[in-house]
Amino acid sequence: MKETQFISQNRQKWSEFEDVLAEAQKSPDKLHDIYIQVTDDLSHARTFYPTRSVRAYLNGLAQAVFGVIHKQKKSPLSKFRFFFTDELPQVVYESRWSFFWATAFFILSFIIGYMSSMMDETFLKIILGDEYVQMTVENIKKGDPMAVYKSSGRFDMTFGIMANNIRVTLIYFLLGIFAGIGSVAMMMYNGIMVGAFLQFFSRHNLLGEANLTVWMHGTFEISAIIIGTAAGITMGRGLLFPSTYTRLQAFQMTARRGIKIMVGVITLLIVAALIEGNLTRHTEAGDLFRGIFILVCFVVVVGYFGWLPFYKAKKGFRQPLAEAKLPPDNFYQIDYQKIKSGGEIFGDTFLFFRRHLSIYLKIAALAAFVFCFVSYFTSSEKISETFKLQTNIFNQSSVLLQFFINENIPIMPYLNGLIITIVAFTVFKTLLRGENIHTYTRKEEIITFAEMLIIFEIWSLFSALSESIFILSIIFVLPFFGLWAYVMYRFGFNFKFFKALQHTWWLINTHLSLVIGSYLTLLLVGWLIYSLTNSSVLYFYLWMIGWNFSFLSQARLDEFVVLFLCFTSTFTIFTIFSLIFTTIGFLFYSLLEINEANNLLNRIKQIGMSRKIRGMARE
């Protein structure tokens, strides 16, 4: 191509680049694209027009772009300030209808709670509980109706409330995965509680005192619950209204928006906990002071989450909301020879899970069926007595332990060891197929399975010693044993039992942070999934079925409900185990590359073998 033709083809593009560089507010994404295109043009000019002026011009343009990019590098503090002053208000503005509906549903639920409690006194006891109502009545008789806020020390109360509120609000947000309905349902229950609570004090002529006390911290706390629900609705909208994206891509985008909103929610909850633990307890403070304090808190919340987003939208945001670029994952090939961060391993785990969903779900369903079948016929008690299933979404950790430690089923540790081996073996076999390496004969697979069975039976028996040992074992021992099993399976007959153990220790010895960080992230997500899928919602629907089929006796209904919930619980547990073993498999490949650098050595050998490197002629 002649120089004049090259200039003619690109003149308009270079002119646009100069216009972008002249703008006061420059988009980082545009600068990134410009830099790539200019350097590509400069490489072409250096190759074909090394002595011409076009090369000097493009060199100057590339230097200008490079200088702007590095000049615009932001410090962590400036990024933090930009997020709270521009990005978060913009996300809130884009999600304004989610905020509207969350607020509307909370007001509606508050009215329902207040009016229902006014018309039926027993409704209050159902919502708040007999024990709490009786305690509050005693406090009123003693002349200190708000004594509940003084029952604990400042430090314990502050951080206990902070941890609990953050946990609860995160669950509200995560329930948005059910098309936003889960978030709204949980929030409405909370709104009914608040309405019933205030009506209770109104009945005792203490509504003014209750408002002045509760809303000191409640302005931030209740606002955080509403905003967390709005974040959940925002996330769920991606599933309902994907627009031109696939549902998965739309969900990924709206989930990222919801997470950004949750950053603001957590900030509110921290402030609310500090107020509740340190200021709310001072009910002796003047009414005027408390009223002004509540008004200031209300102005802050409404000003930041209500007025500021609309003001910034009218004035103009500094730059458009940066949406994540989502390439079609059908064409994304998982790289088994790349050193990956914990986030990349987490992403590959769920991508691999989705691509092999049928295999994962079939093995989890089979494992759950075997577990329930054996438990039903080997338990020393009725199944309804063997498993005490909680319907409260926040008490699922105690339920989970029953499926690993249960005195009514003596063979449970051996059963779990066998089932976990089957799940791990299936996942590992699927991973090896994805890697496209050697396959095993049936005899080799049977021997390897037997060796893996020994590993997981040891883990299961050790974990069943006590509840505390189980918790420590699943956090710290399972990832090591899982890697041990995969090393043995991956290398076949070259790595037998103890040699595989030695190699596993060599792999993780200097990279424990990567192993623990990636594993704990998935374990936390798994626990949240388990808590959400085994909640009172499912239990309620099962009882509805029982009420409409009168031929079922109460004993039969109890058995059916417990057995079905047992199946759903174990199905979820073994699905999470399959995700855990997938993560362990991807951890293995990163650790192997870190320690042996096989991929790097292969790439070094290829240097000089190709005629061109990234479009530039080889010298």
Query: Residue 578's pLDDT is what?
Result: 94
Q: Is the pLDDT of residue 512 over 70?
A: yes
What letter represents residue 278's amino acid? N
Average pLDDT across the chain, whole number: 77
Query: Which pair of tokens denotes residue 122?
Result: 């027993």
User: pLDDT-derived band of residue 413, with 50, 70 and 90 as boundaries?
Assistant: very high
For range 288-309, the mean pLDDT? 88
- 141-198 pLDDT, tens digit per residue, is 777 666 666 666 666 667 777 777 777 777 777 777 666 777 787 788 788 888 888 8
**Interior CA angle at 147 toward 143 and 153, to 5°?**
145
**Who wins on pLDDT, 353 or 77?**
353
Answer for the pair 421, 428: CB distance below 8 angstroms, yes or no.
Answer: no
Query: Residue 459's pLDDT is what?
Result: 94
Q: Is the pLDDT of residue 324 over 50?
A: no
User: pLDDT-derived band of residue 494, with 50, 70 and 90 as boundaries?
Assistant: low
For range 266-283, the mean pLDDT? 75
Query: Which pair of tokens denotes residue 447?
Result: 């021997």
**Who wins on pLDDT, 272 or 543?**
272
Q: Compute how many other C-beta atoms are within 10 angstroms of the C-beta atom of residue 322.
A: 12
CA distance 54 to 483: 57
CA distance 379 to 406: 9
For range 272-278, the mean pLDDT? 76
User: pLDDT-derived band of residue 320, with 50, 70 and 90 as boundaries?
Assistant: low
The domain locations on the chain are: 3-74, 84-131+156-315, 339-597
Q: Please tell me whether the overall predicted TM-score, pTM, comes out greater than 0.85 for this model.
A: no
User: pLDDT-derived band of residue 610, with 50, 70 and 90 as boundaries?
Assistant: very low
Q: Compute how many other C-beta atoms are within 10 angstroms of the C-beta atom of residue 254.
A: 27
**Who wins on pLDDT, 131 or 613?**
131
Query: Residue 520's pLDDT is what?
Result: 85
Answer for the pair 149, 136: CB distance below 8 angstroms, yes or no.
Answer: no
CA distance 58 to 40: 10
**Who wins on pLDDT, 403 or 156?**
403
**Who wins on pLDDT, 440 or 195?**
195
What letter represents residue 474's amino acid? I
User: pLDDT-derived band of residue 423, with 50, 70 and 90 as boundaries?
Assistant: very high
User: pLDDT-derived band of residue 396, with 50, 70 and 90 as boundaries?
Assistant: low
**Who wins on pLDDT, 552 or 4?**
4
Query: Residue 575's pLDDT is what?
Result: 93
Query: Residue 198's pLDDT is what?
Result: 86
Query: Residue 412's pLDDT is what?
Result: 92
User: pLDDT-derived band of residue 574, with 50, 70 and 90 as boundaries?
Assistant: very high
Helix/strand/coil (H, E, C) string of 383-449?
A: HHHHCCCCCCHHHHHHHHHCCCCCCCCCCHHHHHHHHHHHHHHHHHHHHHHHHCCCCCCHHHHHHHH
CA distance 587 to 352: 14
Q: Which of 240-244, 283-287, 467-471 tops mean pLDDT?
A: 467-471
- Identify the three-state secondary structure at position 534: coil
User: pLDDT-derived band of residue 619, with 50, 70 and 90 as boundaries?
Assistant: very low
User: pLDDT-derived band of residue 426, with 50, 70 and 90 as boundaries?
Assistant: very high
- 49-61 pLDDT, tens digit per residue, is 776 777 777 777 7
CA distance 402 to 99: 40
